[in-house]
Structure 1
Amino acid sequence: MSSDYEFSDNEGEYYDSDEMMDDYQNDDDEEMETYEYNNNNNTNDNDYDYTNDDDFRIPTKSKSKSYQVEYTSLTQSLVEKAMKEEVDHVSGIFGVEPSTATLLLRHSGWNKERLIDKYMENPTQVLVESGCQVPEPIPSSSSSHSVDDKSGSGSRRATRSSSKLSLLSSSITSSNRSSSHKKISSTSDSSTTFTCPICYDDSPSLTALSLTCAHSACSGCWNAYAISKIRDEGEHCIRCMTEGCAIVAPDEFIHSVLRDDGKDLIRFQELVVRGFVASNPKLKFCPYPGCTNTVSCPSAAGKSVLSTLVPIVSCGARGITSSASNQNQNPSSFSTSSALSTTTTTTTSLHNKEHIFCFGCPIESDHRPVICAVARLWMKKCEDDSETANWIKSNTKECSQCQSTIEKNGGCNHMTCKKCRYEFCWVCMGPWSEHGTAWYSCNRYDEKGGVEARDAQSRSRASLERYLHYYNRWANHEQSTKLSLDLYAKTEKKMSDMQITSSLTWIEVQFMKKAVEALEKCRETLKWTYAMGYYLGRGNEKELFEDNQRDLERAVEDLAELLEGGGVEMEKEKENVGGLRQRITDKTVYVQKRNEIMLEDTAIGFQDGRWKWNVGVDGFEEPIEDFGGVV
């Protein structure tokens, strides 16, 4: 059975409404046909699918199941190509240089239509706001009067459209003039000594750099400033160093400043791409450390569709590079080039983890079958201190005098607060002085207040027990998933032993690897079924859901017992490796089938609107009441 994440051999096309991706995808059609991404390929010494080939591309993942979505994985070079096409288009429309068009698009969030509208309305203002042009000084009152007099002497009044065209023409001329301003200059004239206003260096060999604002600084200060912005702030829109100046340095200027700093230059280019991806709701950057791939998923771009599907995608890369771990320790040492050429030494070659994440929410894992909104509710509930407060509420009461929290540790209802020495009844919380006489009144609360108080406490305890039921099972599968690395290592050793004790080759013992991969994937599914089950309202649909959940869990545990406790089995069947191979293969196929049934039925339920919740979820009907409640 093929993996759920195996890419289709057929090519898919992605058409964006704003034509952002059309052209460059069509140009690479031949390239997509010559490269096939298959999750079942055998691994070699370097099992990480990073590559230095700029044309590397993963074909479109076509939708074949109800729980899958169509998406396309893009490398950084392909995203840069899409950016360049947008820049060239705007540059041709406005008649400005590409560097200016880049700053204009970046200022408008890469929204080309909005940029064109604003630029046609007031090009000078847009150029100033985007940091391309220095604001023109306000003309004096005398020059203003002279211009008015001159324009009013027998000349035809300019229409609004002609004024706009004139303004656009003058702006283009001004933009071209400013963009052609010499940004790099050297103090070669011996009669003029340049002193850097930042470091006050006045060496004769000093090189002065300036933007269109003509605020000069030495190359060393510019280099240190750019590196600081990139490393410390993760900034790709770097403005002039002069205080109050809003001019933005073009990318070419930053490239020239960082020409001797390869790592920082690569990091800057990655930040530029990240800014472009973040502005497009149809694109998302891979969240795995060290990975520079991007995923395009137009079908999951809107929030409204997230109530009917779970957009789990893969960027196509595998593994976490050593440079990524170094980056976590020292962000300034990030290197994409080393990320593409080195592999981690902390994982085995067998544990070649695919970069899978959710396109619709920040959860960096496959949280199917539960939708993003419910998954976030569950994560928030597990991460905050609400359950600690719930336990305190269920097992303690507050002193009515000083509000100290008191836990009852005996059978007597006569309580004395250790803090204020107030004596009260644990049942009705009234003064104990009223309970030692004939007017003992605790029985009155059985009819009204006391019953409500005890019922509230019982409901709180029932809610806590219900939460712990789901949480313990969720946490158990999460812990098992985290321990999968050890299981991969043990399985690799078993695979080696099987080759020694039998005539099977390395290819023929791959059934062990596939079984472990299926086990890990199904445990991930089971983990999130408990999060979904906690919020599902009672009814026939929930009972069917729990039946599928039970069948999947039983299949998972059977396969796990055979794999993790397989040492004894393997000793018994050394002479019958073929039988062991058949048993593991059969259980692997069955657990994959149960996992597919679980995901498929749940996905169809979302599309048909079958699921009811006991909490409010956007895009669904009002929550239904459920026994025990949800805190």
Structure 2
Amino acid sequence: MRYGANALRISRTLPTVPAVSAAKAEIGICGSGMPHAMSSDDEFSLEDSENDASDFESETENLETEDQDEEVVRVLTYSDIREIMKSKIEEVREILEVTSGVCRVLLQKYKWDKTTLLEKFYEDPNFIVNSKISLTMRTDSSDSSSDGECDICCDTAPLLGLSCDHTACIECWRAYLTEKINEKKCEIQCMSSDCKLIIDDDKIHEYLSSETTVISAFQQLTVDEYVETNHFLTQCSCGMVLESSRSDAHLVVCSCGTRFCFSCGNDSHEPVNCRLLKLWEKKCVGVKDKAGADGYSSDKETFNWILSNTKDCPKCVTSIEKNGGCNRITCRSKTCRFEFCWLFNEKDEKNRVDSRAELHRFLFFYNRFKSHEQSFKLEKKLVKTVNVKMDEMQKKGMGWADVLFLRKSVDILSECRRTLMFTYIFAFYLERNNQAIMFDGNQKDLEMAVEQLSGLLEQEMETNDLRVLIQKTQDKSRYVEYRRKVLLDHCTEGMEQDAWVYNA
């Protein structure tokens, strides 16, 4: 693993985060879950970064380019995807010798895997028939004039049907198909309840020829299904579809500017993988629900009060407060009412202590995650402050390109703060080993750098010495971006080499 100077830096006394503001004062905690005291040796300055210049200056020159390379995706419109689908359908149609509508249904059945579809076709001489897809459109064979009594509405009208011999009038077909499309179904079976024959696209277009809005909705559904089954496509909230060369979890950026995880669709959550993020969200909901069920809110003070003043019912695990001298307690839950002694036996007490210790550990990481989340939201306001400063600098004769670094510094701070938030989820599930110790060091270095940049942008925007402001902001922005890269590179290398062990 190429950790370079980062591995050496961990051997020194690890720095804590300087308290930039009251809202952020509690963040100076290491990822291992143990608080550490602050000292003058822990302070970070530009002189410290100069000592590391040989480690990161050459790499920071390529940071922006590397980030862009990781985020390169092809943005597709609805029309683009329709053309891709048509091309794939045409390739199969020439071999299967069936209509395009039947090909679309078959490809959808096999998740648009052309190879698997053709293998099945060559293996089974009756593959098309056995696929149970309507192949022809016909009039009622019992009456050459096509008139008859509709089995659905009982009116006399021309009857239309499928190869399964189930018929209905055109109005009933339209009503049925419209209902199914409104239910978001693009694989629609015959109207007869005991028939599994699938109606192909050509027949759906034929029956709905006068319903252009419904046909458009059906076409949109087929596109959505295609995107859903393609592991290399994902949809942005703006409606655009992004195509990537990778199907794993990674950050992508849409043309609208939205950044999100390609795999799960959530906001960027590096370095946490999608599975751990989902477990964390469930755990947060569970703890909040537990507090809410007991009549409490879910803030830090409430959690700490519950830990100190309550015990869990041995039967239903509801938190119970002892507000009298008697040790015989009745659970206050109406559905439980279990009676027990407040002085648990040794085994019950051990389980209680273990349970509370786990909750206490969770709250440690939860509170730090929420603190950084709060800072992340508050720092969005810096955009307005920075814009004012940029206008001021331009009025003093500086060009747009010369002042744009301030805007970029805010963007860097936002991205690094977001990463820092999710490092606490990553650390919560991480088993303690040498790699975890290295991660703690990287986390604290990033945390320290982020707080320094945040403090600079919050406190020094009023300075009149623009040259000093430019130099400080550029130096700190480069360094915090470098620390983020070091941390994420370490996480990526650990994943590639199976070095991370999770307690989940």
* TM-score normalised by structure 1 residue count: 0.56
Secondary structure of the structure 1 residue equivalent to 2:489: helix
Partner deviation per Cα, 1:132-185 (whole Å, 9 max, x = no partner): 24xxxxxxxxxxxxxxxxxxxxxxxxxxxxxxxxxxxxxxxxxxxx3xx469xx
CA gap of 1:423–1:514, structure 2 versus 1, over 3 A, is closer
The residue that corresponds to 2:45 in the other structure is: none
CA gap of 1:465–1:398, structure 2 versus 1, over 3 A, is closer
Partner deviation per Cα, 1:172-221 (whole Å, 9 max, x = no partner): xxxxxx3xx469xxxxx9x986776655677xxx9876555565555555
Q: CA deviation at 1:525?
A: 0.8
CA gap of 1:533–1:398, structure 2 versus 1, over 3 A, is closer
- Structure having the higher Rg: 1
Moved more, 518-527 or 84-93: 84-93
Which structure 2 segments of 5+ residues have no match?
A: 1-63, 295-302
Structure 2 counterpart of 1:229, from 180, 199, 214: 180
- Determine if contact 1:230/1:268 at 8 Å carries over to the other structure: yes
Q: Which one-letter code corresponds to 1:317 in the other structure? A: S
Return the alpha-carbon distance in structure 2 between the equivalents of residues 402 and 556 of structure 1. 43
Return the alpha-carbon distance in structure 1 between the equivalents of residues 190 and 483 of structure 2. 60
Return the alpha-carbon distance in structure 1 between the equivalents of residues 316 and 200 of structure 2. 65
Return the alpha-carbon distance in structure 2 between the equivalents of residues 611 and 69 of structure 1. 25
Matched, 1:581 2:470: yes
CA gap of 1:600–1:398, structure 2 versus 1, over 3 A, is closer
Structure 2 counterpart of 1:514, from 392, 408, 414: 408
Secondary structure of the structure 2 residue equivalent to 1:610: coil
Q: Which one-letter code corresponds to 2:181 in the other structure? A: I
- Determine if contact 1:396/1:407 at 8 Å carries over to the other structure: yes
Q: Which has the higher contact order (CA 8 A, sep 6+)?
A: 2
Q: Which one-letter code corresponds to 1:512 in the other structure? A: L
Secondary structure of the structure 1 residue equivalent to 2:254: strand
The residue that corresponds to 2:484 in the other structure is: 595
The residue that corresponds to 2:41 in the other structure is: none
CA gap of 1:461–1:95, structure 2 versus 1, over 3 A, is closer
Secondary structure of the structure 1 residue equivalent to 2:260: strand
Q: Which one-letter code corresponds to 1:546 in the other structure? A: D
Question: Aligned-residue CA RMSD in angstroms?
Answer: 4.3
Structure 1 counterpart of 2:228, from 267, 278, 284: 278
CA gap of 1:215–1:88, structure 2 versus 1, over 3 A, is same
Moved more, 481-490 or 88-97: 481-490
Matches within 5 A, 1:65-464: 74-124=76-126, 126-133=128-135, 178=136, 181=137, 198=152, 211-212=162-163, 221-231=172-182, 233-255=183-205, 264-280=214-230, 282-286=231-235, 288-298=236-246, 300=248, 311-314=249-252, 316-318=254-256, 353-359=257-263, 362=264, 364-385=266-287, 388=290, 396-397=310-311, 406-409=320-323, 414-417=326-329, 426-427=342-343, 429=344, 450=346, 453-464=348-359
Secondary structure of the structure 2 residue equivalent to 1:522: helix
Q: CA deviation at 1:230?
A: 2.8
Q: CA deviation at 1:467?
A: 1.1
CA gap of 1:364–1:425, structure 2 versus 1, over 3 A, is closer
Q: Which one-letter code corresponds to 2:409 in the other structure? A: A
Q: CA deviation at 1:549?
A: 0.9
Instruction: Please state which structure has a larger fraction of its residues in helix.
Output: 2
Q: CA deviation at 1:131?
A: 1.8
- Determine if contact 2:173/2:207 at 8 Å carries over to the other structure: yes
Matches within 5 A, 1:608-623: 608-613=497-502, 615-616=503-504
Q: CA deviation at 1:466?
A: 1.6
Q: Which one-letter code corresponds to 1:249 in the other structure? A: I
Return the alpha-carbon distance in structure 1 between the equivalents of residues 186 and 474 of structure 2. 51
The residue that corresponds to 1:470 in the other structure is: 365
Return the alpha-carbon distance in structure 2 between the equivalents of residues 199 and 71 of structure 1. 51
- Determine if contact 1:417/1:423 at 8 Å carries over to the other structure: yes
CA gap of 1:425–1:271, structure 2 versus 1, over 3 A, is closer
Q: Which one-letter code corresponds to 2:492 in the other structure? A: A
Return the alpha-carbon distance in structure 1 between the equivalents of residues 201 and 127 of structure 2. 21
Partner deviation per Cα, 1:307-331 (whole Å, 9 max, x = no partner): xxxx31426332xxxxxxxxxxxxx
CA gap of 1:291–1:467, structure 2 versus 1, over 3 A, is same
Secondary structure of the structure 2 residue equivalent to 1:317: coil
Structure 1 counterpart of 2:440, from 543, 546, 549: 546
- Determine if contact 1:71/1:313 at 8 Å carries over to the other structure: no
Q: CA deviation at 1:455?
A: 4.3
CA gap of 1:102–1:537, structure 2 versus 1, over 3 A, is closer
Secondary structure of the structure 2 residue equivalent to 1:509: helix
Secondary structure of the structure 2 residue equivalent to 1:603: helix
Secondary structure of the structure 1 residue equivalent to 2:243: strand
- Determine if contact 1:393/1:460 at 8 Å carries over to the other structure: no
Q: Which one-letter code corresponds to 1:294 in the other structure? A: L
Partner deviation per Cα, 1:19-77 (whole Å, 9 max, x = no partner): xxxxxxxxxxxxxxxxxxxxxxxxxxxxxxxxxxxxxxxxxxx9958x95986554444
Percent identity, please: 33
Q: Which one-letter code corresponds to 1:228 in the other structure? A: E
Partner deviation per Cα, 1:436-488 (whole Å, 9 max, x = no partner): xxxxxxxxxxxxx54x5544443333322221110011122233444565444
- Determine if contact 2:362/2:428 at 8 Å carries over to the other structure: yes
The residue that corresponds to 1:171 in the other structure is: none
Return the alpha-carbon distance in structure 2 between the equivalents of residues 277 and 122 of structure 1. 29
The residue that corresponds to 1:40 in the other structure is: none
- Determine if contact 1:73/1:315 at 8 Å carries over to the other structure: no
Partner deviation per Cα, 1:503-523 (whole Å, 9 max, x = no partner): 345444322321222122111
Q: CA deviation at 1:595?
A: 0.8
